[in-house]
Amino acid sequence: MTTVPIDTASSPGVVMELLYSLRVKDAMTSSVITASTTARLRHVQDLMREHAITAVPILDGERLLGIVSIGDIIQALDSGTMERPAAEVMTSSVVTLDEDMPLSFAVTYFDRYKYGRFPVLAVNGRLAGIITASDVLRRLLIALNEEIGRMEQRIAGRQPPSEGPLPSMELSFGSAPLDFTRAGNISARFKKTLTEKGCPPTIARRVAVASYELELNQVIHSSGGVMRMRVFEDTIEILAQDEGPGIPDLDLAMREGYSTANEWVRSLGFGAGMGLPNVKRVADDFSIESPPGKGTTVRALIAWAKESTN
């Protein structure tokens, strides 16, 4: 079995995310049975039998020079050349993976090259491990089990967060009208703080989207405001409060593609009319108030339980 029956372009989101977030080194076997260039093929065959493997990387010190597969051994048995050294028979143009590559690369390699395994190299070029299609599938199965376990718990309504709850905290910063040099800084601070405290990336990402859009709204449309993030045991609240002028038609403002931003703002890539709809999409609870002549207050709640459904 050398192919991995997973489509890296159109599998469900959960599978794709796992394939991108897991690294080759998470799935590979790191204790590799190897032989030196001078090892006789007979010795290589013994290694294969002893360890029930079908290929042996050939090393010079820690440097990978080639690989001898079971096919090479069969050929040597056939032609009576089992006493020849590995260096003379090995395949020397070996396709390798890097240990930090996403696991999706391994899937692509198994489907593209019809080899049974790929040696894995560390950053310094040394052999770090070896990976087979069944290593990939085994690791993916473990990760999928964990993910499905979390989904079941959510469906059952128990919803314990997978990581411990974050410490409660509150952060708030002011935004200034049309100050594009600092626009995005507040949301970056929010995201950085959450990430440092061990917040899962999917949650931090949703907070980043919601706070970025609300921050940019204040910069583009308001005469200045305040952005506040409060972290509770099971939710994160983003509150954006500005001093006006307020939104005349809330229904229109919530419509995707509708924007009142001027040409200059649009030329910078803002004002696409996606801001508030984006916030609503990533939030588990969303409310907006904008009484005429007064400021706008937007509240977005992001709950832990929906951690990986986005």
Partner 1 sequence: MVISELQALAEARPVQAEYKDGPIAGGYTSDLLSDVMAHARTGDVLITIQAHKNTVAVAGLVGAPAIVLCNDRPIPDDMVEAAREEGIALFSTLLSQFEVSGRLWKALKV
Number of residues that bind partner 1 (CB under 8 A): 32
Q: Is 208 in the site for partner 1 (CB under 8 A)?
A: yes
Q: Is 27 in the site for partner 1 (CB under 8 A)?
A: no
Task: Pick from 6, 48, 183, 227 the residue near partner 1 by CB under 8 A.
Answer: 183
Task: Pick from 12, 164, 181, 196 the residue near partner 1 by CB under 8 A.
Answer: 181
Min separation Cβ 278 and partner 1, Å: 5
Q: Is 116 in the site for partner 1 (CB under 8 A)?
A: no
Task: Pick from 40, 84, 154, 205 the residue near partner 1 by CB under 8 A.
Answer: 205
Q: How far apart are CA 195 and CA 153, in angstroms?
A: 24
Window 255-284: contact mask with partner 1 (x via CB under 8 A): -------------xxx-x-xx--x--x---
Window 131-170: contact mask with partner 1 (x via CB under 8 A): ----------------------------------------
List of residues contacting partner 1 (CB under 8 A): 9, 20, 98, 100-102, 104-105, 112, 180-181, 183-185, 187-188, 191, 201, 205, 208-209, 212-213, 216, 268-270, 272, 274-275, 278, 281
